[in-house]
Amino acid sequence: MKKWLLLSPIGGLFIGHGMGMAFFSKQEDAGQSRVVTFSSEETATDFALTYLSACGPLEAMPVEVAGEQYATIPELIASGYKDHLGLLLANVQAHPTIQ
């Protein structure tokens, strides 16, 4: 199914947020191996404008996923985001049991 993710030209893929911080694949990934997705382009854009305005420009981009909330590394690669995986790929290589 088609979902949407947020992409930063500097930080990479938006992974999620917590503890008052935003996490991106090329900066600080919080040990994650997947990224949060949004149900629509509008929802992703609204979230970015409301909660991530201090993170610089973010673009809502489509991704094909099997699940409801997250895009996995194989799904990200299949959707053309391999160059944006950054630290996510290192997490899976270091800990092959996380997917």
Residue 99 lies in a domain: no
Contact 86, 25 (CB under 8 A): yes
Is residue 76 in a domain?
Answer: yes
Edge to edge, the sheet with strand 21-24 lists 21-24, 12-18, 2-8, 59-64
93 has pLDDT over 70: no
Range of the domain at 85: 2-94
Band (97; pLDDT cuts 50, 70, 90): low
User: In the chain, how many domains are there?
Assistant: 1
For residues 60 and 41, the answer to whether their CB atoms sit within 8 Å is yes
| 74 found inside a domain | yes
96 pLDDT higher than 60: no
Does residue 14 sit within a domain?
yes
Q: Residue 45 falls within a domain, yes or no?
A: yes
What pLDDT shows up at residue 13?
96
Residue 33 lies inside a defined structural domain of this protein? yes
How far apart (Å, rounded) are the C-alpha atoms in residues 84 and 9?
9
pLDDT range class, residue 9, cuts 50, 70, 90:
very high
